[in-house]
């Protein structure tokens, strides 16, 4: 057995063993990468190389957008924006069967898109909507399932931090602007698909309808939510029109959110140190994950793993549809035990060359990959959003699993549609020539 094969085996066996021992993902990635490299080169240059690759991995101007979008999301979370979006959504759809569940989905889509964070949407919207839905007869487990799955739409609808991470991992093959505009239709499609299942359940179980809001109230709620919604237009519109880059847009988002939150008087200037501290903690976790994941991605190239994977898949399977299906299955499995950020950074260099060889656009694959890994965020044992959503609803994870399964099936159906119908994600980028 060659040293290259042994190195690859050590990498994956040590990585999964550390995960099973509940070592944090970032440390598992860093330790397994170091052990594997030390089989090829001496200790001092090996450790130096890993440290160097971790630093150069985050030496990217585009990555500056992440801490600023995290900060903007934290300001919005505390700035009273969630309530305004919920009230606006409720005025539109609450009169339909299962109306409050629609409100949950629509508010999660809006807040997730504005904040760029699925976790922020899960906690902000779930903490408000679960109690409201329970008062009108919805089981807390069903409300939590709606909240958990709908929050993932914010990772597709821009601005989205994970799409920025994918742009970095693609090595420039996919631009942030193209990924942002490509995420709109799949994100909205996912939200509508979840609403379709909610409609079926609402009619079957005869959930209560809310009162139809008069047009005057809808207009008033819209005016109150207008400046929150305008952020999407400012950020994404500015990027698509070439007025500013994604990184510059993130700074504008922070300034806009800060002015808006102060104007709403939900937070004051003295609250900003706590906001900055919370954002810094989140950013540190994300950046450390990116550091170690980029080191592992470099090791993959060093060991020629992407080329080996490409040759294997292309030699074993001749049908592109079968290869895409296999890649989706692998990513679905990966998503159940790995967080979305390291998964994107580690597996993009492995699978992107394969799908590009088969003619798939890297922007299209980015949307497919993110949507795929969003499903993993909602599943045990590592599903971050699953645990946040259950915690916010004050129920155990085991109580959520059964009502969650149909929603996960809906998400998988949408994933297959987005994967095999490229126009769903590529229509808008081609329209704007991105």
pLDDT at residue 2, as a whole number:
67
For residue 154, give the nearest of 124, 113, 122 by alpha carbon: 113
Q: Predicted confidence band at 372 (pLDDT cuts at 50, 70, 90)?
A: very high
- Per-residue pLDDT of 147-176, as tens digits, reads 999 999 988 988 888 898 899 889 888 988
pLDDT at residue 4, as a whole number:
67
pLDDT at residue 355, as a whole number:
92
Q: What percent of the chain has pLDDT over 90?
A: 23
**H or E element that contains 376:** helix 362-377
For residue 187, give the nearest of 4, 370, 400, 387 by alpha carbon: 370
Q: Predicted confidence band at 210 (pLDDT cuts at 50, 70, 90)?
A: low
For residues 387 and 117, the answer to whether their CB atoms sit within 8 Å is no
Region for residue 361 given its phi and psi (left: phi exceeds 0; alpha: psi -120 to 50; beta: otherwise): beta
For residue 101, give the nearest of 137, 131, 146, 136 by alpha carbon: 146
Distance from the Cα of residue 263 to its chain's centroid:
29
How many Cα neighbours within 13 Å face the side chain of 68?
19
Q: Which of these ranges, 83-87, 399-403, 413-417, has the smallest mean pLDDT?
A: 83-87
pLDDT at residue 117, as a whole number:
73
Q: Which of these ranges, 110-124, 188-202, 288-302, 317-331, has the smallest mean pLDDT?
A: 110-124
- Per-residue pLDDT of 119-132, as tens digits, reads 777 887 887 788 88
Is the model's pLDDT at 352 over the cut of 80? yes
Is the model's pLDDT at 389 over the cut of 90? no
Q: Predicted confidence band at 418 (pLDDT cuts at 50, 70, 90)?
A: very high
Q: Which residue has the higher pLDDT, 127 or 373?
A: 373
* Mean local confidence (pLDDT), 366-388: 88
Cα–Cα distances (Å) from 324 to 61, 91, 347, 372, 393, in that order, read: 32, 41, 14, 12, 36
Domains in the chain: boundaries: 1-57+288-302, 58-267+303-431
And the tokens for 317? Answer: 């399977």
Is the model's pLDDT at 415 over the cut of 90? yes
* Mean local confidence (pLDDT), 19-40: 85
Is the model's pLDDT at 424 over the cut of 90? yes
* Mean local confidence (pLDDT), 198-210: 78
Is the model's pLDDT at 209 over the cut of 70? no
- pTM recorded for the entire structure: 0.85
Average pLDDT taken over every residue of the chain: 85
pLDDT at residue 325, as a whole number:
94
């Amino acid at each position: 057995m060659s040293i290259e094969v042994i190195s690859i085996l050590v990498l994956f066996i040590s990585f999964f063993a550390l995960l099973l021992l509940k070592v944090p993902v970032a440390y598992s990635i860093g330790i397994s990468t170091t052990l594997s490299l030390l089989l090829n080169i001496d200790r001092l240059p090996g450790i130096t190389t890993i440290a160097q690759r971790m630093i150069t991995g985050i030496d990217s101007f585009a990555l500056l957008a992440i801490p600023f979008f995290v900060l903007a999301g934290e300001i919005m979370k505390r700035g009273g924006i969630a309530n305004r979006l919920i009230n606006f959504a409720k005025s539109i759809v609450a009169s339909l069967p299962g109306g409050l569940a629609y409100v949950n989905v629509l508010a999660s889509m809006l807040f997730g898109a504005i904040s760029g964070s699925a976790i922020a949407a899960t906690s902000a919207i779930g903490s408000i909507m679960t109690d409201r839905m329970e008062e009108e007869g919805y089981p807390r487990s069903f409300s939590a399932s709606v909240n958990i799955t709908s929050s993932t739409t914010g990772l597709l609808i821009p601005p989205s931090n994970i799409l920025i991470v994918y742009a970095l991992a693609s090595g420039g093959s996919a631009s942030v602007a193209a990924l942002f505009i490509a995420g709109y239709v799949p994100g909205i499609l996912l939200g509508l698909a979840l609403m379709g299942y909610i409609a079926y359940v609402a009619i079957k179980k005869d959930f209560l309808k809310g009162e139809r809001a008069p047009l005057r109230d809808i207009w008033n709620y819209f005016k109150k939510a207008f400046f929150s919604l305008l952020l999407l237009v400012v950020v994404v519109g500015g990027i698509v029109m070439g007025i500013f880059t994604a990184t510059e847009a993130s700074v504008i988002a922070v300034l806009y959110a800060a002015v808006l939150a102060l104007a709403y008087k939900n937070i004051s200037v003295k609250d900003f140190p706590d906001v900055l501290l919370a954002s810094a903690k989140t950013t540190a976790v994300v950046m450390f994950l990116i550091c170690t994941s980029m080191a592992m991605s470099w090791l993959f190239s060093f060991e020629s793993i992407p080329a080996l994977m490409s040759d294997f898949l292309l030699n074993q399977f001749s049908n592109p549809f079968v290869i895409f299906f296999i890649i989706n299955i692998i990513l679905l499995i990966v998503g159940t035990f790995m967080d979305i950020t390291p998964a994107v950074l580690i597996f993009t260099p492995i699978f992107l060359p394969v799908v590009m060889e088969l003619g798939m656009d890297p922007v299209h694959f980015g949307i497919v990959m993110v949507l795929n890994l969003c499903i993993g965020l909602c599943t045990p044992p590592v599903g971050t959003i699953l645990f946040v959503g259950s915690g916010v609803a004050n129920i155990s994870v085991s109580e959520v699993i059964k009502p969650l399964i149909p929603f996960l099936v809906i998400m998988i159906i949408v994933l297959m549609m987005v994967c095999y119908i490229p126009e769903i994600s590529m229509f808008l980028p081609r329209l704007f020539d991105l």
